Structure 1
Amino acid sequence: MPKNLQATTTLHNGVKMPWLGLGVFLVEDGQEVIDSVKAAIKNGYKSIDTAAIYKNEEGVGQGIRESGIAREDLFVTSKLWNGDQGYESTLAACETSLKKLGLDYLDLYLIHWPVPSQGKYKDTWRALEELYKDGKVKAIGVSNFKEHHLEELIKDAEVVPMVNQVEFHPNLSQKELHEYCKKKGIQLEAWSPLKQGQLLDDPTLIKIAEKHGKTTAQVIIRWDLQSEVVTIPKSTKAHRIIANADVFDFELTAEDMDAINALNKDERIGPDPDEFKKV
């Protein structure tokens, strides 16, 4: 169980990935994202998660540089957008992301969505394998892949994905997918762990939070960690960034965990990965 904000999980290739990081989805490029990244790093965060489609990679890179922390002490993730899938276009898109971030390498690069209707994610994966072999990326993975997408990918892959980042929160706990990923040695990672704030008033979570003297957000993040799921809550406010990391001084009981697990409704706020094809 992670003991502090610097605690890491070891991916199947030996790379160490922080259990908790900052997500910057919908954080505006420029000063907003620069300040968010700097606030996170200043308060002990080592992991920053962005994506080409967030259009804030330049600001993330600026925040990293202004933080004064050595590059090798940070874990930076970005993601390939749907319209860039395909072998050659993936290689080019990764170069663009690195250039915008001002980095020589990424710690983790993910295929953002499977977009099965395009039929390109296997070619895309070959490009990620090449980037991995060339050292441009320390670890490679996917995002929003269901079991059958992973099965199809792994069939022809030389490298099994190290991470699968998916929508994961108490109303969508994806138990079967989580078990499948564990069997394959794929680390599950949560996006939108707080269901974009929709779970903060849930009575069950409020009751558990009051018992521990914590906020509902902290209880959800703790539930992620105790479920062995990497998590990247997003915030632009320094006090919330600090609060989201204040989850290492308490432990949810087995009864708490069962009560939170019982909140599952298989309810998404994001699109279904089988159907989503925006480019």
Structure 2
Amino acid sequence: MHTIPQFGLGTFRLEGQTVIDSVRNGLEAGYRHIDTAQIYGNEAEVGLAIAESGVPRGEVFITTKIWTENLPRGKLIPSLQESLRKLRTEQVDLTLIHWPSPGDAVPVAEYMDELAQAQDQGLTRLIGISNFTVRHMQEAMAAVGPGRIATNQVEIHPFLQNRKVVDFARRHGIHLTAYMPLAYGKVLEDPVIAAIAKRHGATSARVALAWLLQQGFAVIPSSTRRANLEANLGALGLQLDGEDMAAIAALDRNGRIANPEGIAPLWD
């Protein structure tokens, strides 16, 4: 299986020139994994920024996500084809189901089968899931087999460690991608993380990202500032010791941020 780059650039809530600048700056800084989604409304801008970057398409790993409205049979593949047009590419590297169908109105097996068909047709190199609970992961694996699911992209950061989902995924060979890895900036205010950062001569953001990377997660932080984009990449070279890792692990408080009403499943 093609591997997902450990470090990516998230584009959630970035629109227009802001997302173009963020992606351009990220690619110049060395990012090679760009994460977008149909519902972000920025696929066209992301595609433009990548096309104009001068970085060969084969060197950029592009992830997009299928929105819930496109899960019913017959809608998923045309919606992905539209995403490809916006992203200016014939194939994305990874396509995720963004959320399980709200209220399970569309069975998991139905849209996972269509996603697998999209892969068979060459529209996407890899397929995966996002915001899937243990039950939804079980149903997805039953539909396409565990070896076919490249990742489950879920909210993971020091204040929400999502241990039931993480433990299940690891037992069944499903890789995990951590979104909102900086808890939307909340990690920057935490005194425990700040103290560890001071000892290492690093930023709090870099420490939080290194903590996730050392556990084997991929991370997709976002930033609109070039200096922050570059500083975050430094997490790849930061090694935390066992005491650091344990201190951050003790910060878990079920501090979920992404919990949209009417869309979010019943969490584990």
Q: How would you bin the TM-score normalised by the shorter chain? A: over 0.9
Which residue matches 1:49? 35
Q: CA deviation at 1:121?
A: 3.0
Structure having the larger proportion of residues in helix: 2
SS at match of 1:107: strand
Q: How does 1:10-25 map to 2 (within 5 A)?
A: 14-25=1-12
**1:51-87 CA-partner distances (Å, limit 9, x unpaired):** 0000000000000011101111110000001111122
User: Aligned equivalents of 2:8 and 2:212: distance in 1?
Assistant: 12
Question: 2:198 matched to 1:210?
Answer: yes
Question: 2:59 matched to 1:73?
Answer: yes
Amino acid at match of 2:149: P
Q: Please identify, of 223-232 and 146-155, the stretch whose mean Cα deviation from structure 2 is larger.
A: 146-155
Report percent identity of matched pairs.
Answer: 37
User: Aligned equivalents of 2:261 and 2:228: distance in 1?
Assistant: 30
Amino acid at match of 1:123: E
**1:76-127 CA-partner distances (Å, limit 9, x unpaired):** 0000011111221001110110011111001000000013512333211111
User: Aligned equivalents of 1:197 and 1:143: distance in 2?
Assistant: 21
Which residue matches 1:40? 26
Q: How does 1:115-194 map to 2 (within 5 A)?
A: 115-117=101-103, 118-158=105-145, 160-194=148-182
Specify which of 187, 210, 234 is matched with residue 222 of structure 1.
Answer: 210
Gaps of 5+ in 1: 1-13
Cα RMSD over matched residues? 1.6
Structure 1-normalised TM-score?
A: 0.90
User: Aligned equivalents of 1:140 and 1:166: distance in 2?
Assistant: 15
Amino acid at match of 1:121: V
What is the aligned length? 263
User: Aligned equivalents of 1:204 and 1:141: distance in 2?
Assistant: 34
SS at match of 1:200: helix
Amino acid at match of 1:103: T
Question: 2:80 matched to 1:94?
Answer: yes
Gaps of 5+ in 2: none
